[in-house]
Amino acid sequence: MIATPLHLSLAPLLLAPLLAGCIAERPAAKPAQIEVLTVTVTPAPMTVADELPGRVVAWRTAEIRAQVGGIVQQQLFEQGALVRDGQPLFQISPAPYRADADAARATLQKASAALIRAQVQAERLKPLVAADAISRQSYDDAVAARAQAAAEVEQASATLRRRQLDVGFSLVTAPIAGRIGAANVTEGALVTAGDAKPLAMVQQIDRVYVDLRQPADHFAVLRSLGRTDVSVDILTTGGQVHPVKGHVLFAGIAVDPGTGDILVRVAVDNPDERLLPGMFVRARLPRAVMPAALSVPQQAVTRNANGVAQVSVVDQEDRVDVRPVTVGEVVDGRYLILSGLRAGERVIVEGQDRVQAGTPVKSLPWRRR
C-alpha cells in the first residue's frame, strides 16, 4: 500500500467549507413576472338607470266615424298615407241632406214672411189703441202674434243650420294630422252614425308616448331629479338606441297593487317614425346621478367560494393584493364600486385567473375592445 502525503489527504476537507460559502453567497433567482392587463380606478360621473320594458302609444289618435248615415260614394285618401288636418277622407251621398236643407230654407222663408205681416199688423194697431179706436185685447193679440212669428223664424233658422251641418257631415274629414290606417269600408257601403266600427283611424306618430312601469321604491328618487331634467334612452326591439332621447312627462300617483309599480309616461320625438304604436321597447330610466363614482370593468370582478365580490389589485411593489369589494349596479359594462377601492389604484381586468395574492406581475394597460 502506498502512503499518501498528509497535506494531500486533508485538501478536500479544507476546500469544502470554501465551496459551501461560495454557494451560499450566490443570490437567489428572481421569480418571473406574469403579464396582466390593468386599469387605474378614476372617479367619473355615472348615472344609474333602470332598464324597463315599455309600450309605444300614439301622441294623438282619432277614430274616423260617420256623423250622418248614407251610402259611401268615394274614398278620398290612400291607405297608410299622411293626411293633414281637415283633409277629405270619405264622401257620403249628400243628396238627401241637401233636400232637407232646401226644405228648411223654404220653411225659414215662410216664417220670415209671417213675421213681416205680424210686425206690420202690430204697428198698424198701435196708434188705434192709443186713441181707444180698438180694444186693448186686439192690440195685445197682435203683439203676441208678432212675437210668435219671430220665434218661428228662429226655429226655422236653427233647423236650416242643422240641415246644412248634415250636408257638411256627409263629407268626412280628418280631425287631426297624422298617418291614416286601413279603411274599414269601401265605396257602396251603407254607414250610420251609430256604427261601432270606425271608418278608419288616424294616428299622430311624429311624436309618441312610451309608457313604462317603474318600481314604486324608485319613484322618490325619480321625482327628486325633477320632471324636466330626466332624459330617457329608448332601445328598440333590435337593441338599437333611438336617436332622440325621451323626457319624462309625469309619474303616476297610484301604485299597482299587483306589481308594486308606478306608471311613468315618457314623450319621445319620432320624426322618422321608427317607433310605432303598440311596439314594445326598453327604456333606460335614470334613478341616481353620481358626479364622482368609482367603477371597474365588469370582468375585473370575481367571486370567492363564499360568493363575495373581489378584485385583484396591483400594489406599489407590483404584487397582487386580492381584496373584497362592495359592488352596485352595472352601468355600460362597468360595476359601480361602493367600497373597497380607492382612486388611483390599479385593478387587474385580464389575467387574474393566473395569479394569486402576493404574485409579482407586470402591469400593462387594458383597452376596451
CATH of the domain at 80: 2.40.50.100
Looking at the DSSP assignment, which residues form a beta bridge with residue 312?
322
Q: Do 153 and 42 fall within a single domain?
A: no
Domain stops at, among 150, 169, 188: 169
Tell whether 193 is covered by a domain: yes
Residue 131: CATH number of its domain: 1.10.287.470
Question: What is the Cα Rg of the chain in Å?
Answer: 45
Beta carbons within 8 Å of 106's beta carbon, 6+ residues apart = none
Residue 238's pLDDT band, with cuts at 50, 70 and 90, is confident
User: For 201, phi and psi rounded to 5 degrees?
Assistant: -140, 135
CB 41 within 8 A of CB 348: no
Answer whether residue 110 shows pLDDT above 90.
Answer: yes
Tell whether 233 is covered by a domain: yes
Mean pLDDT of the chain: 87
Residue 278: CATH number of its domain: 2.40.30.170
d(CA 331, CA 318): 29
Q: Do 262 and 321 fall within a single domain?
A: no
Q: Do 117 and 133 fall within a single domain?
A: yes
Q: Do 269 and 361 fall within a single domain?
A: no
By C-alpha distance, which of 63, 69, 74, 80 is closest to 186? Answer: 74
pLDDT at 5: 52
User: Where in the sequence is the domain holding 230, given as residue range(s)?
Assistant: 50-59+205-289
Q: Which pTM was predicted?
A: 0.67
pLDDT at 343: 92
Element (H, E) at 209: strand 200-215
Element (H, E) at 311: strand 309-314
H-assigned helices in the chain: 6-25, 95-130, 136-169, 219-225
| Burial track 238-267 (b if 16+ CB lie within 10 A, e otherwise) | eeeebebebebeebbeeeeeeeebbebbbb
Answer whether residue 136 shows pLDDT above 80.
Answer: yes
Beta carbons within 8 Å of 307's beta carbon, 6+ residues apart = none
Q: Name the percent of the chain lying above pLDDT 90.
A: 59
Residue 263's pLDDT band, with cuts at 50, 70 and 90, is confident
**Grid cell 306608471 in the structure block, residue:** 263
DSSP readout, 24-86? HHSPPPPPPPEEEEEEE---EEEEEEEEEEEEEEEEEEEEE--SS-EEEEEE-S-TT-EE-TT
Tell whether 29 is covered by a domain: no
Looking at the DSSP assignment, which residues form a beta bridge with residue 337?
294, 327
- The residue-averaged pLDDT of 340-365 equals 90
Q: Do 116 and 209 fall within a single domain?
A: no
pLDDT at 330: 85
Secondary structure letter of residue 5 according to DSSP: P
Tell whether 135 is covered by a domain: yes
Q: Do 55 and 89 fall within a single domain?
A: no
Beta carbons within 8 Å of 57's beta carbon, 6+ residues apart = 208, 209, 210, 211, 277
Q: Do 89 and 181 fall within a single domain?
A: yes
pLDDT at 32: 75
Tell whether 334 is covered by a domain: yes
Answer whether residue 216 shows pLDDT above 80.
Answer: no
By C-alpha distance, which of 53, 44, 45, 48 is closest to 286? Answer: 48
Q: Do 299 and 352 fall within a single domain?
A: yes
- The residue-averaged pLDDT of 129-149 equals 90
d(CA 314, CA 39): 10
Answer whether residue 9 shows pLDDT above 60.
Answer: no
pLDDT at 107: 96
Looking at the DSSP assignment, which residues form a beta bridge with residue 364?
37
Tell whether 18 is covered by a domain: no
Domain stops at, among 267, 289, 311: 289
Tell whether 236 is covered by a domain: yes
Q: Do 193 and 72 fall within a single domain?
A: yes
228-232, 248-252, 361-365: least confident range: 228-232
**Grid cell 433567482 in the structure block, residue:** 29
Q: Do 332 and 218 fall within a single domain?
A: no
**How many independent structural domains does the chain possess?**
4
Q: Name the percent of the chain lying above pLDDT 70.
A: 88
Residue 361: CATH number of its domain: 2.40.420.20
By C-alpha distance, which of 179, 205, 201 is closest to 56? Answer: 205
Q: Do 229 and 182 fall within a single domain?
A: no
By C-alpha distance, which of 115, 111, 93 is closest to 103? Answer: 111
Domain stops at, among 289, 313, 347: 289
20: which 3 cell numbers?
459551501
Tell whether 9 is covered by a domain: no
Task: Please state whether beta strands 190-191 and 280-297 pair in parallel, antiparallel, or not at all (unpaired).
Answer: unpaired
Q: Do 87 and 100 fall within a single domain?
A: no
